[in-house]
Structure 1
Amino acid sequence: MQIASKTGTAEHGTDPRNTPPHAWYIAFAPAYLPKVAVAVLVEDGADRLSATGGALAAPIGRAVIEAALQGGP
Protein backbone atom coordinates (compact mmCIF):
# COMPACT_ATOMS: atom_id res chain seq x y z
CA MET A 1 0.00 0.00 0.00
CA GLN A 2 1.24 3.47 -0.83
CA ILE A 3 1.18 6.09 1.91
CA ALA A 4 1.29 9.80 1.07
CA SER A 5 3.35 11.50 3.76
CA LYS A 6 5.66 14.30 4.81
CA THR A 7 8.12 14.46 7.69
CA GLY A 8 9.67 17.43 9.40
CA THR A 9 11.94 18.62 12.16
CA ALA A 10 11.44 21.96 13.90
CA GLU A 11 13.91 23.86 16.01
CA HIS A 12 12.42 25.85 18.88
CA GLY A 13 13.26 27.66 22.08
CA THR A 14 15.59 30.51 22.88
CA ASP A 15 18.65 28.33 22.25
CA PRO A 16 17.75 25.87 19.43
CA ARG A 17 21.28 24.45 19.35
CA ASN A 18 20.84 23.07 22.85
CA THR A 19 17.13 22.24 22.75
CA PRO A 20 15.92 18.92 21.34
CA PRO A 21 13.89 19.61 18.17
CA HIS A 22 10.28 18.67 17.60
CA ALA A 23 9.75 15.88 15.05
CA TRP A 24 6.55 15.51 13.03
CA TYR A 25 4.89 13.29 10.46
CA ILE A 26 1.65 13.75 8.56
CA ALA A 27 0.17 11.12 6.25
CA PHE A 28 -2.87 9.61 4.62
CA ALA A 29 -3.43 6.15 3.20
CA PRO A 30 -4.00 4.53 0.84
CA ALA A 31 -2.47 7.33 -1.20
CA TYR A 32 -4.95 7.17 -4.09
CA LEU A 33 -8.15 6.47 -2.14
CA PRO A 34 -7.52 7.65 1.44
CA LYS A 35 -9.39 6.03 4.30
CA VAL A 36 -7.26 7.30 7.18
CA ALA A 37 -5.17 10.39 7.95
CA VAL A 38 -2.74 10.90 10.82
CA ALA A 39 -0.57 13.62 12.28
CA VAL A 40 2.16 12.80 14.80
CA LEU A 41 4.14 15.35 16.79
CA VAL A 42 6.99 14.30 19.08
CA GLU A 43 7.96 17.31 21.17
CA ASP A 44 11.55 17.57 22.40
CA GLY A 45 12.29 14.33 20.55
CA ALA A 46 15.87 13.39 21.36
CA ASP A 47 19.36 14.58 20.63
CA ARG A 48 19.78 16.81 17.59
CA LEU A 49 21.14 14.11 15.28
CA SER A 50 18.48 11.46 15.85
CA ALA A 51 15.39 13.63 16.43
CA THR A 52 13.98 13.68 12.92
CA GLY A 53 10.45 13.20 11.70
CA GLY A 54 11.50 10.13 9.74
CA ALA A 55 13.27 8.49 12.66
CA LEU A 56 10.86 9.32 15.50
CA ALA A 57 7.41 10.30 14.28
CA ALA A 58 7.02 8.29 11.05
CA PRO A 59 7.19 4.82 12.67
CA ILE A 60 4.42 5.86 15.08
CA GLY A 61 2.29 7.16 12.21
CA ARG A 62 2.81 4.04 10.11
CA ALA A 63 1.79 1.83 13.05
CA VAL A 64 -1.39 3.87 13.56
CA ILE A 65 -2.25 3.66 9.86
CA GLU A 66 -1.70 -0.10 9.78
CA ALA A 67 -3.84 -0.61 12.89
CA ALA A 68 -6.63 1.60 11.54
CA LEU A 69 -6.74 -0.12 8.16
CA GLN A 70 -6.59 -3.60 9.69
CA GLY A 71 -9.25 -2.81 12.28
CA GLY A 72 -6.75 -2.99 15.16
CA PRO A 73 -6.74 -1.11 18.46
Structure 2
Amino acid sequence: MLIKALNLKVGDQLAEEDGFLWDVTEIIQETETTITVRLNSDFSSFKEHWRSRSGILKTFDKHRSLQGVSA
Protein backbone atom coordinates (compact mmCIF):
# COMPACT_ATOMS: atom_id res chain seq x y z
CA MET A 1 0.00 0.00 0.00
CA LEU A 2 1.25 3.49 -0.77
CA ILE A 3 0.97 6.20 1.88
CA LYS A 4 1.58 9.88 1.19
CA ALA A 5 4.11 11.21 3.70
CA LEU A 6 1.77 14.10 4.54
CA ASN A 7 -0.73 11.52 5.88
CA LEU A 8 1.71 9.72 8.22
CA LYS A 9 0.49 9.17 11.77
CA VAL A 10 1.62 7.30 14.87
CA GLY A 11 0.96 3.60 14.41
CA ASP A 12 1.63 3.51 10.67
CA GLN A 13 4.28 1.08 9.45
CA LEU A 14 6.79 1.86 6.70
CA ALA A 15 8.42 -0.91 4.69
CA GLU A 16 12.01 -1.20 3.55
CA GLU A 17 12.71 -2.75 0.14
CA ASP A 18 13.14 -6.18 1.76
CA GLY A 19 9.72 -5.87 3.46
CA PHE A 20 11.08 -5.17 6.97
CA LEU A 21 8.60 -2.89 8.77
CA TRP A 22 9.40 0.20 10.82
CA ASP A 23 6.73 1.61 13.14
CA VAL A 24 6.04 5.35 13.28
CA THR A 25 6.15 5.99 17.04
CA GLU A 26 6.22 9.78 17.09
CA ILE A 27 5.67 12.78 14.83
CA ILE A 28 8.66 15.01 15.64
CA GLN A 29 8.09 18.05 13.41
CA GLU A 30 6.01 19.19 10.47
CA THR A 31 6.70 22.09 8.14
CA GLU A 32 4.81 23.16 5.05
CA THR A 33 6.91 20.81 2.91
CA THR A 34 8.39 18.12 5.21
CA ILE A 35 7.50 15.77 8.05
CA THR A 36 10.00 14.28 10.50
CA VAL A 37 9.06 11.09 12.32
CA ARG A 38 10.63 8.71 14.82
CA LEU A 39 10.82 5.13 13.56
CA ASN A 40 11.31 2.07 15.75
CA SER A 41 11.59 -1.55 14.74
CA ASP A 42 9.76 -4.41 16.41
CA PHE A 43 12.64 -6.79 17.14
CA SER A 44 10.90 -7.78 20.37
CA SER A 45 7.35 -8.94 20.92
CA PHE A 46 7.21 -6.60 23.93
CA LYS A 47 6.34 -3.13 22.63
CA GLU A 48 7.69 -1.42 25.75
CA HIS A 49 11.16 -2.74 24.78
CA TRP A 50 11.30 -1.01 21.42
CA ARG A 51 9.22 2.09 22.08
CA SER A 52 11.51 3.09 24.93
CA ARG A 53 14.56 3.14 22.65
CA SER A 54 15.48 6.26 20.73
CA GLY A 55 14.85 4.74 17.29
CA ILE A 56 15.79 6.77 14.24
CA LEU A 57 14.56 10.11 12.94
CA LYS A 58 13.60 10.33 9.27
CA THR A 59 12.49 13.38 7.33
CA PHE A 60 10.29 12.99 4.26
CA ASP A 61 9.02 15.41 1.64
CA LYS A 62 5.27 15.56 2.30
CA HIS A 63 4.45 14.77 -1.34
CA ARG A 64 6.51 11.57 -1.38
CA SER A 65 4.68 8.25 -1.61
CA LEU A 66 5.93 5.63 0.83
CA GLN A 67 5.40 1.88 0.91
CA GLY A 68 3.70 0.84 4.13
CA VAL A 69 0.63 0.01 6.15
CA SER A 70 -1.70 2.65 7.54
CA ALA A 71 -2.87 2.14 11.13
Both structures adopt the same fold (TM-score exceeding 0.5): no
- TMscore range, shorter length: 0.3 to 0.5
- Which of the two has higher C-alpha Rg? 1
Give the number of the structure whose residues are more often strand, by fraction.
2
Highest RCO, 1 vs 2 (Cα 8 Å, sep ≥ 6): 2
TM-score by length of structure 2 reads 0.33
